[in-house]
Amino acid sequence: MKKPSPNPPDTDPASPYESPDSNKLNEAAERALDFHFPSTADIKATPRSPSTLFSVDPEATTETLVVYLVETLASVDVMVHQLVDHLDGGSRNALLGISNSVMLAEITANRVLDQIDPPE
């Protein structure tokens, strides 16, 4: 018994970039990709302007800032551990990885605090 269609089906060997319409479409797609996904060179060339919405007291001491940092990291770690109890599988593992990173940052900040004001 013969099949009604060829095996494999005949295809047009022409490149999708050979017609003027396909070139326009390709150029539009490239512009859209460049707009939504800038290259790392474009990102690095953009000057960073700090946000003025929130600011830190310029007269705050380093010790005060590090103490606040340690307390904030401890709070984030508690929140993450409360969320972990409600998750399973990959989401739980990802959250535990975040918790581990927060814990390492907290340990580092505590070490900085120890260097600023050594325990007696």
The amino acid sitting at 80 is V
> Average pLDDT per run of 10 along the chain, which is 120 residues long?
62 60 77 77 70 84 90 92 90 92 91 84
Give pLDDT, residue 51.
77
* CA dist., res. 114 & res. 99, Å (int): 22
Give pLDDT, residue 14.
57
Question: Would you list the domain boundaries of the chain?
Answer: 62-116
Assess contact for 70 and 112: CB atoms under 8 A: no
Give pLDDT, residue 74.
92
The closest of 34, 43, 14 to 26, measured between CA atoms, is 34
User: In Å, what is the CA distance from 42 to each residue of 31, 48, 51, 52, 60?
Assistant: 14, 12, 20, 24, 35
Give pLDDT, residue 117.
80
Give pLDDT, residue 56.
84
Give pLDDT, residue 17.
57
